[in-house]
Amino acid sequence: MKKRLLLISNSTNYGEEYLEWPRPYIKDFLEKTGVKRALFVPYAGVALSDEGIEASFDAYEERVNNVFNEMGFEIYSLHREKDPQQAIKDALAIIVGGGNTFHLVYMLHELKLMKVIREAVENGLPFIGWSAGANLACPTMRTTNDMPIIEPESLNCLGLVNFQINPHYLDAPIEGHGGETREQRLEEFMVINNNVYVVGLREGTLLSINDDNIELMGKRPMRLFRYDQDPREFQPGSSIGFLI
């Protein structure tokens, strides 16, 4: 079965409506699969309600479903399912929202879902993830930007791709900020993990993966890192199949 993934850097560009910029890509991706109803994983959304984490998941489901309804699709949330493992096995597509990657990974390990999701996607289940959801597709979450608000059983993720993604990648240092740049942080990762490519995925861009084909989409280039090599820039439409 072909592996089909849409790995999105961010849900919303500054000044836009929620999920505005990636809507055409999401719509096209789902239409090609023929799927109208998809399973949503809300566990990265921990602070979307003042009434506790379950209410936050409810709010996240509603927010995403409103957008998907406008595109002609429907989502239903994993947090409402009595048997999460069976829900994954029965799903026609899976969508993983952004937020805090540590909590997302914590929950999927806690519910013993990592292997179930990986096997389902490897067997053809379409996968869409933005921000933390894009991190989740990587071998590990160690290139996330998020605060460790909870300790997962492991930092290992789905390993649906064999490279790492840094979503929301920023080049420029922040004015008045004396800490490390994003590139310096990724260089630290590569010193310890020196055989892994890291994709700096800028906002407003995504990776579309169809089996052994991969394409950068959006209006901005991506920055590719590898230990002991100068970073390289790739424009949308460039040949990046070597990452697969």
Where do the structural domains in the chain lie, given as residue ranges? 4-157+203-217
Interatomic CA distance for residues 239 and 224, integer angstroms: 13
Q: Find residue 6's DSSP bridge partners.
A: 128, 208
Say whether 212 is catalytic.
no
Cβ atoms of 64 and 40 within 8 Å: the answer is: yes
- Rounded to 5 degrees, what are φ and ψ at 240? -130, 25
* Confidence (pLDDT) at 148: 97
Cβ atoms within 10 Å of 111's Cβ, excluding its own: 16
The model's confidence at residue 82, banded by pLDDT at 50, 70 and 90, is: very high
Tokens of 73: 């699709």
User: How many residues make up the chain in this entry?
Assistant: 244
Say whether 168 is catalytic.
yes
Say whether 131 is catalytic.
yes
Q: Are strands 205-210 and 213-218 parallel, antiparallel or unpaired?
A: antiparallel
* Confidence (pLDDT) at 177: 60
**Mean per-residue pLDDT of the chain:** 95
pLDDT, one tens digit per residue, over 52-75 is: 999 999 999 999 999 999 999 999
Choose, from 56, 77, 103, 146, the residue flagged as catalytic.
146
Tokens of 187: 């260089």
* Confidence (pLDDT) at 1: 67
Mean pLDDT of 200-211: 96
Cα–Cα distances in angstroms (integers) from residue 60 to residues 43, 44, 66, 88, 124, in the given order = 9, 9, 10, 19, 26
Choose, from 49, 109, 168, 208, the residue flagged as catalytic.
168
Interatomic CA distance for residues 141 and 208, integer angstroms: 19
Choose, from 131, 154, 171, 177, the residue flagged as catalytic.
131
pLDDT, one tens digit per residue, over 105-156 is: 999 999 999 999 999 999 999 999 999 999 999 999 999 999 999 999 999 9
pLDDT, one tens digit per residue, over 21-45 is: 999 999 999 999 999 999 999 999 9
Which CATH entry fits the domain spanning 4-157+203-217: 1.20.1530.20, 3.40.50.720, 3.40.50.880, 3.40.50.300? 3.40.50.880
